[in-house]
Amino acid sequence: MPKILTQQQVEQYRQQGFLSPIDVMSEEEASRYAQQLQAAEVEYPQELNAENRNNPHLAFGFLDQLAHHPVILDAVEDLIGPDFALWGSVLFIKEPETRHYVSWHQDATYVGISPHDYVTPWLALTPSDRETGCMSMIPGSHRDDIQPHLETFHDDNILTRGQAIQEVDESVAVDLILRPGQMSLHHCRVIHGSQPNRSKQRRVGFALQGYVPAGGRQYLGANYWLPIRGNFMQADFIELERPASDMDPQALGERRKANQNWADILYQGAGRKRAY
Ligand SMILES: O=C(O)CCC(=O)C(=O)O
């Protein structure tokens, strides 16, 4: 018996590789989180900027709260079962009227986690629609293998290697339109991407990337995990600490450790490396 999703929604995720929209919180509450984020960006510009947006939940209490939000976790549990950990998080921010985009890709290509049964909730803190550059998904593509990705390193591409799948039937793509406080959930192998933000407002999404069920492990780098529910950890896994308060030295250390591990994993074998 699912906790908050309907059986039909669980089935839809299995068939299509994504589910959207799911209400997590009110628009007002999401706007308060967006304001908190903006205040933190002003106060700690070295820790939150375009080149430093990975794993902020390890250093900021309000983002740790989102990573443990009961609605998000109940939906995740409905999709992957009661035992899971979080691998990491990314703030996907597109500033107003900018050219930044995300090319068609499958998350599982470079992240080194096996097996491919983990899920990413993407929570909108501002409106995410066609004008602001919402995500689009190719239904059912998670049932295919990993496709060849061309590493473009294009300046406007937000992805680490600017990796892009070339052969995609865009005519079947589904746009995931979210109001602030709603989330989508996507499978680690579904093909997805997003267009630039043509609007006059920021588009802010917080991706919890991803929640991994028991039995999952990292095979390209260290097994640093934030246990979330049930039993996930294995003997050689290392537990990450939650932040006791924003930016405390322990929390910063945890985030640096996780980010260094991510860089080692995400750029493994790459011809070039960017600053994020
Ligand atoms: O925020 C975006 O536009 C893309 C995010 C994405 O690719 C992801 O969450 O896996």
Report pLDDT digits (tens) over 122-165: 999 999 999 999 999 999 999 999 999 999 999 999 898 999 99
List the CATH number of the domain containing 163. 2.60.120.620
Please give the average per-residue pLDDT across 175-204, as a whole number.
98
Instruction: Give me the pLDDT at residue 273, please.
Output: 84
- pLDDT at position 126, please? 98
Question: Whose alpha carbon is nearest atom 9 of ligand 1?
Answer: 207
- pLDDT for 116: 98
87 Cβ inside 6 Å of ligand 1: no
Mean pLDDT of 4-23: 98
Specify if 276 maps to a domain.
no
Among 261, 35, 31, 272, which residue's Cα sits nearest to residue 159? 272
As a whole-number percent, the residues of the chain with pLDDT over 90 amount to 93
* pLDDT surpassing 90 at residue 231: yes
Q: Which tokens in the block code for residue 132?
A: 């602001």
Residue 168, in any domain of the structure? yes
Cβ of residue 17 lying under 6 Å from some atom of ligand 1: no
Q: Which two tokens stand for residue 149?
A: 């990705």
Distance (Å) from CA 236 to ligand 1 centroid:
30
How many distinct structural domains can be found in the chain?
1
When pLDDT is averaged across residues 31-40 and rounded to a whole number, the result is 98
Q: Are 204 and 48 in contact (CB under 8 A)?
A: no
Residue-number span of the structural domain to which 11 is assigned = 7-266
**Is 206 within a domain?**
yes
